[in-house]
Structure 1
Amino acid sequence: MKIKKILNNGAVLTENENNEEIIVLGKGLAYGKKINDEIDPRKIYKIFTPFSGKQKKLLLETIHETDPIFFQISQKIVDRLKNEENIDLADSVYITLTDHLATSVERAKKGMYLSNKFLWELKNYYPKEYSYGLWALKLLDRQFDLKFPDDEAGFIAVHIISGELGNDIGDFQKSVNFIKNITKIVKYYFNIDIDYQSLTYNRFAVHLKFFWKGMMYDRKHQEFGDLSQEILKVIKNSDIESYKCALKIRDYIDEKYNYELSNEDIMYLAIHINKIISDYKGKKK
């Protein structure tokens, strides 16, 4: 690949083998280079291709206005998610997260910090993403000699979640409300206090997170395979109430989202609910 335009020391405009215009990022990628020079593939850490006109405009603006160090930090966050969790984030997260990190550091240097109104939901509904947000804070603190509050970890988590969903940040709030409302149905059906920090609830929240994504964007049912053993376990425990609660959730989703749950969807909900109730009863003994 040859350089068509140098955007900054770490970003260039070029073309791929299909003659599509792409933007390539890499530490020191364009240092000492000029137009038509070959790009060193060993320095590349991100390629944007192909992209919409709107995304290209936002990306170019971000590149021109932002220190490349923030792209590198974003890359570290995304790489860790890919390597440890096998999570691929949408390309848009590079733009939004990089811009957010740069803006946050700029504010922090002036002693200005934002409060995150979704911090509780993030800690409890998206603990994995929040934990990566905390890890990212350490990168920022070390790099810029700052001390961010935990609220900032929540903001970073929101960008990660939006990257997972493949949509804008507004979808994060919708997914949070979905998980919150389903959890309320379980909580009030059984009149219990749910332990949001438990592994059992975390698994339930993760199930709801991916169910939400499938419901909103795939609109098709996922095949989970043979459920006979799990179903048998629920039946043997005579836990018909978990099944009834799952039916209430089915009715809510049908009415609110015009989406019909399959029998497997219902049974998986019942299994998760059964485990939450079993945990609750075990702790009450």
Structure 2
Amino acid sequence: MKITRILNNSAVISENQDHEEIIALGKGIAYGKKVGDEFDKQKIYKIFTPLSDSQRKLLLETIHETDPIFFQISQKIVDRLKHEENIELADSVYITLTDHLATSVERAKKGLYLSNKFIWEVKNYYPKEYRYGLWALKLLDAQFDLNFPEDEAGFIAVHIISGELGNDISDFSKSVDFIKSITKIVRYYFHIDIDYQSLNYNRFAVHLKFFWKAMMYKKDQSSFGDLSREILNVIKNSDIEAYKCALKIKEYISEKYNYELNNEEIMYLAIHINKIVHGEEK
């Protein structure tokens, strides 16, 4: 591929085989090059194909104003999520995450740190994403000789969550409200204190997270596969209360989100509720 424009030593504009404009990032990819030269594809760690003029403008501004090291750190985070969790983040979130990291480091060098009002929710409702936030924090601390508080891991996790949802950060707070509301229904129905650190609750929260995404953006009646064995176990345990609680949740979702749960979705909720209440392992 040939360079049509050089943005900096680590970013160029070119065209793919379909003659679409691409923006390629790679360490030293444009060093010693000029427009019209071929560049080393092996150095590329990220390619963007902007879908709109606004996305292109945002990307070019971010590249112009941001040290390439922050793109590289973001790519390490994205690569690890893809490799270990098979999670693909939306390109738009990759850009906002890079900008966030650069801004956070700039503030930290001045001794300014932000508190995260969602830190409890992130830790308890999105523990996997929070763990990756902590890992990313170690990268920043080592690279820039800083000592970020855990609040920053929460901010990074929010960007990861937004990337999973495929939408902007405001969706994170909406999904948190959804998980919080459903959990509250379970707590009040059974008059119990939930162990938010338990494996069963973690699975429940993960299920709600992906259910929220499907409910809000796909609007389809998703199939969860053959639940005959799990349904049989629920029946054997005579856990009718878990099923009744799931029906309460169905009513809430119908009124709040105008979404009707099908029988399979209700039973799947009941299975998770049963495990939380009785502490059963899958």
Both proteins in one fold, TM over 0.5:
yes
5 Å-filtered alignment, 1:130-145, equals: 130-145=130-145
Asked if structure 1 preserves the Cα contact closer than 8 Å seen for 2:116 and 2:155, the reply is yes
* Structure 2 letter corresponding to 1:21: E
Scaled by the length of structure 2, what TM-score is found? 0.98
- The residue matched to 1:51 in structure 2 has which SS? coil
**How many corresponding residue pairs?**
281
Match of 1:63 in 2: 63
Cα-to-partner distance string for 1:146-202 (whole Å, 9 max, x where unaligned): 000000000000000000001000000000000000000000000100000000000
- The residue matched to 2:279 in structure 1 has which SS? helix
1:28 and 2:28 aligned? yes
Q: Partners in 2 of 1:62 and 1:3 — Cα distance?
A: 19
5 Å-filtered alignment, 1:1-285, equals: 1-279=1-279
Q: Partners in 2 of 1:228 and 1:71 — Cα distance?
A: 47
Q: Partners in 1 of 2:180 and 2:131 — Cα distance?
A: 20
Scaled by the length of structure 1, what TM-score is found? 0.97
Asked if structure 2 preserves the Cα contact closer than 8 Å seen for 1:124 and 1:196, the reply is yes
Asked if structure 1 preserves the Cα contact closer than 8 Å seen for 2:50 and 2:56, the reply is no
Asked if structure 2 preserves the Cα contact closer than 8 Å seen for 1:20 and 1:50, the reply is no
* Unmatched runs of 5 consecutive residues or more in structure 1: none
Cα-to-partner distance string for 1:20-71 (whole Å, 9 max, x where unaligned): 1110111111111110111211001111114211111111000000000000
1:224 deviation in Å? 1.8
Cα-to-partner distance string for 1:183-236 (whole Å, 9 max, x where unaligned): 000000001000000000000000000000000111002212221111111111
Runs of 4+ in structure 1 deviating by more than 2 angstroms, as ranges, are: none
More off after superposition, 215-224 vs 115-124:
215-224
- The residue matched to 1:99 in structure 2 has which SS? helix
Asked if structure 1 preserves the Cα contact closer than 8 Å seen for 2:25 and 2:46, the reply is yes
Cα-to-partner distance string for 1:127-160 (whole Å, 9 max, x where unaligned): 0000000000000000000000000000000000
More off after superposition, 16-25 vs 123-132:
16-25
Q: Partners in 2 of 1:174 and 1:103 — Cα distance?
A: 25
